[in-house]
Structure 1
Amino acid sequence: MNINQQVVLVTGASRGLGAQIARRFHEEGACVIINYYKNEAKAQQLVNDLGGDQVIALQADVRNAEEVKALCAQAKAHFGASITTIVNNALVDFSFNGDARPTLDDITWHAFQQQFEGSVQGALNTYQAVKDDMQQQQFGRIINIGTNLFQHPVVPYHDYNTSKAALLSMTRNMAYELGKYGIHANMVSGGLLYKTDASSATPDAVFDVIEQGTPLGKVTTPDDVAGAVLFFASPWSKGITGQNVIVDGGLVMQ
C-alpha cells in the first residue's frame, strides 16, 4: 500500500519528533492523526499549519486502552477508513538532562513503570485498538520509536533506556506473530535529536561532542528519523519486519 493510501496514527505528535513525522506523512499524501495527551493548542496549530481535510488532532493518553480505542473509532469515522499505520512515538514525562538524571542509587521503580507504561503499554494499546481492521485488510505497519542509548548508553537514563530495550523485544515478538496477517513491525532508533522540547535541557556541549564523534559529522535531526519511519511505511520495505534501524549519523554501528 502506498503512503498516500494510508491512514497514519502518530502518537505524541504535537511537538518535536512526532510533529515532524506527521508533517512528512502529510506531505506524502497520507491521512494523519495527530495524537496528543495534554497540549491541544500545539496539536491544533500543527493541523492548521498542515491544512486540508487529511489531518486531524485527537486527544488520548496512550496508557489508557479505552481512550486509545475511542481515538481510533473517531479517526475511522472522520476519514471513512481504518488506521493502517501506527507510529508509537509518545514520550511520557521525560527530559534528556544527563546532569539531573536519577542514578541507580536513587532511582525508583515508579520511574521505570512510567517509562514502561508509555513505551510498551502504549504500543500494546494502539495495536489492540486497530488489530481487527489490520487483520481484516491483511495490511498493517507498526513503527516503534526507540533510541540508540540502550545499545550505547553514553548517558545511562536507566528507566528510559530500559523501556526502549523492552520495546525492541516487543517489536520483534509482534513481527513474528503478526506477519501472517501482512502486518510488519519495525523500530527506528534515533540518537539525541537537535533540538526538541525533550532535548532542550541538554547542554550545547553535548551536541558538540556528538557532532565531532560521528562519521557524518552532524547531530541527528527529527527529519532524519522521520525519513526512516516513512521508509518502513512505504512499499520499499515490503520484505522487512522485526528490524531496528539506528539513525544517529553512524555513532552506533551494528
Structure 2
Amino acid sequence: MPDTFENQTVLITGAGRGLGAALARAFAREGARVAINYRRSAAEAEALAREIGPRAAAVRADVTDAEAVRAMVAEVAARLGPPSVLVHNALADFSFNGDARAGLDTLGWADIARQAEVAVGGALHAIQAMRPHFEAAGGGAVVTIGTNLLQNPVVPYHDYTAAKAALMAFTRTASKDLGPLGVRVNMIAGGLLRTTDASAATPEAVFDTIAGLTPLGHVTTPEELADAALFFASPWSRAVTGQTLVVDGGLVCD
C-alpha cells in the first residue's frame, strides 16, 4: 500500500499496548504519522513512540473526558499535523476470563455504563474533537473496534458486549452525519486475540478450541486485525461506510 498514508496523521486511542500497539505499528509501517494515545500506560506508550521514531508521539488523555480529548487532538495537530484518521481502540479495564466474569445475578448497571462510557463516549469525544480537522481536510476516516461476541456470544460478557453493540450502532449513525463531510466510519469486529493483556487470562485450552473451530485454523492475532484497519482507513474503501467487518478467521458470519 505504498504512499497511502504518507501524508496522514492517525490518532489511535488506547494504543500504548496490546491491539493498540499493533495498530500503531501497522500504520507506521505504511508511512503514517502516528499519535499513540494512552491513559495509564505511559512507559509503554513512550517506548512504542521511540521504537517507531520521529513520526510518532505518545499523547495522554482519558477518552471519557471531552476536554482532555480536545486538548489531546490539539497537541497531536501541533506535534504531528492535523489528524485525518481516528482508530478508536480504547477499552475500559477488562479481562476475558469466563470464570471470573460478572453473571446476570451479580452484574450491576455501573459495569455496563463503565464499558459504554469508554466505548461510545470515547468515540463521541474523539469524533467531536477531530471534526474541525475533517472539515478542513475535506474528508477522513474513523475505524472503531468491535467484537464478534455480538454474532456469537459464546461467553456472555454482558457489560463488554452490550457496550460494543452500542458502539456498532453509533458507528452506523455517525456514518450518516459525517458522510457529507467525506468521512467514512466503519467497525472492525474482532474475536478473541492471541494474545493481548485483556486476553492473557484466557486458558490455552480455550484458544486451542477456538483455533480448531476456525476455518483458517488459528486464533486471530493483533497484527492481523490491525491490517484490516488499514483497509478501512485507506482510499481503497472509499465507497464503504457504516459497515461492520468481522475479522476472526471465519469463525462467525455476520
Q: TM-score normalised to the size of structure 1?
A: 0.97
Corresponding residue for 1:67? 68
| Distance apart, 1:139 and its partner CA | 0.8
- Partner SS for 2:6: helix
Corresponding residue for 2:23? 21
Corresponding residue for 1:222? 222
CA distance in 1, matches of 2:132, 2:195: 37
Corresponding residue for 2:140? 140
Instruction: Work out whether 1:195 is the aligned partner of 2:161.
Output: no
Corresponding residue for 2:160? 160
| Number of aligned residues | 252
CA distance in 2, matches of 1:178, 1:212: 40
Letter in 1 for 2:184: H
- Partner SS for 2:250: coil
CA distance in 2, matches of 1:208, 1:26: 31
Corresponding residue for 1:58? 59
Letter in 1 for 2:76: A
Corresponding residue for 2:6? 4
Letter in 2 for 1:208: D
CA distance in 2, matches of 1:58, 1:251: 35
| Distance apart, 1:136 and its partner CA | 2.5
Q: Percent identity?
A: 51
Instruction: Work out whether 1:179 is the aligned partner of 2:197.
Output: no
CA distance in 2, matches of 1:107, 1:139: 41
Unaligned 5+ runs, structure 2: none
CA distance in 1, matches of 2:74, 2:176: 27
Query: For each residue in 1:113-155, what CA deviation from the matched residue of structure 2 results, as whole angstroms up to 9, or x when unmatched?
Result: 1000010000000000011120232111000000001111001
CA distance in 1, matches of 2:22, 2:4: 19
Letter in 2 for 1:35: N
Corresponding residue for 2:211? 211
Corresponding residue for 1:98? 98
Corresponding residue for 1:231? 231
The correspondence for 1:44, drawn from 37, 43, 46, is 46
Query: For each residue in 1:93-132, what CA deviation from the matched residue of structure 2 results, as whole angstroms up to 9, or x when unmatched?
Result: 1111111000001100000010000100000000000111
Letter in 1 for 2:111: A
CA distance in 2, matches of 1:188, 1:5: 23
Instruction: Work out whether 1:240 is the aligned partner of 2:240.
Output: yes
Q: TM-score normalised to the size of structure 2?
A: 0.97
Unaligned 5+ runs, structure 1: none
- Displaced runs of 4+ in structure 1, greater than 6 A? none
CA distance in 2, matches of 1:95, 1:180: 38
User: Over aligned residue pairs, what C-alpha RMSD do you find?
Assistant: 0.9
CA distance in 2, matches of 1:223, 1:129: 28
Query: For each residue in 1:16-67, what CA deviation from the matched residue of structure 2 results, as whole angstroms up to 9, or x when unmatched?
Result: 100000001001110100000001000011111112x210001000000011
CA distance in 1, matches of 2:25, 2:4: 17
- Partner SS for 2:245: strand
Letter in 2 for 1:114: R
| Distance apart, 1:4 and its partner CA | 1.5
Corresponding residue for 2:79? 78
| Distance apart, 1:2 and its partner CA | 2.7
CA distance in 2, matches of 1:214, 1:130: 37
